[in-house]
Amino acid sequence: MKLGVLISGRGSNLQALIDACASNILPAEISIVISNRPNVAGLERAEKAGLKCLTIDHKFYKDRENFELALNDALEDAGVELVCLAGFMRVLTSTFTERWSGKAINIHPSLLPSFPGLNTHSRAIEAGCRFAGATVHFVSAEMDAGPIIIQAVTPILPNDNPDSLAARVLKAEHEIYVQAVRWIAEGKLFKENGKVIIEGVESGASYYLPPPHSAV
């Protein structure tokens, strides 16, 4: 399966996909990496891996629709079959989501539907949550609201701050993003009544990241 990865920053989830493709964990290849910001670390990662890279700077377009049309053209020209949003910090409109319905996924650093949007870790801590996590879901017109594929769960420790929690959750993000792409590439996902069903996974798709040994 040919992947198109959209980034806006450091590209750590992109790196997880690069490593998984290189080690043949995924029956997939990354056809193109697109950033809406120039000179970000994620582009350096892609170039180091020998991948095709492109910057489509949203600032150069008069509106979201024209920016997304440029994204669509680049993805289609690269033969992309699945779009992977990996820290892509732009809200997408129906111009994009309708074209890639069922063919675009996103990784979000919370246990959706809780805490969509930004500052998820600080919001979870401030709310007194006992657990945090990450979610891979299909992209929909409503932000962070598409059907959930897999989630990772990790405890929020008494001494956690947003940075320490984010670092721990990020490890789980890398695990579940690769797993979600693998299921899709292997044709194991289908939707039923607005929910994702995974062939051969009876107890649901979840990943638990335990607290550090020092906290036990």
Phi/psi for 101 (5° steps) reads -60, 125
Please give the full DSSP string across 125-183, using - where no structure is assigned: HHTT-SEEEEEEEE--SSTT-SPEEEEEEEEPPTT--HHHHHHHHHHHHHHHHHHHHHH
Residue indicated by tokens 């994620």: 42
Catalytic residue among 58, 108, 121, 174: 108
Is residue 134 within 8 Å of residue 152, measured between CB atoms?
A: yes
Taking residue 212's Cβ as centre, other Cβ atoms within 10 Å add up to: 11
Q: Which segments of the chain are extended strands (E)?
A: 2-7, 29-35, 53-55, 82-85, 104-108, 131-138, 148-155, 189-192, 195-198, 206-208
Residue indicated by tokens 């063919």: 103
Active site residue 108: yes
Contacts for 149 with CB less than 8 Å, ≥ 6 apart? 105, 136, 137, 138, 180, 183, 189, 196, 198, 205
Q: Which are the catalytic amino acids?
A: 108
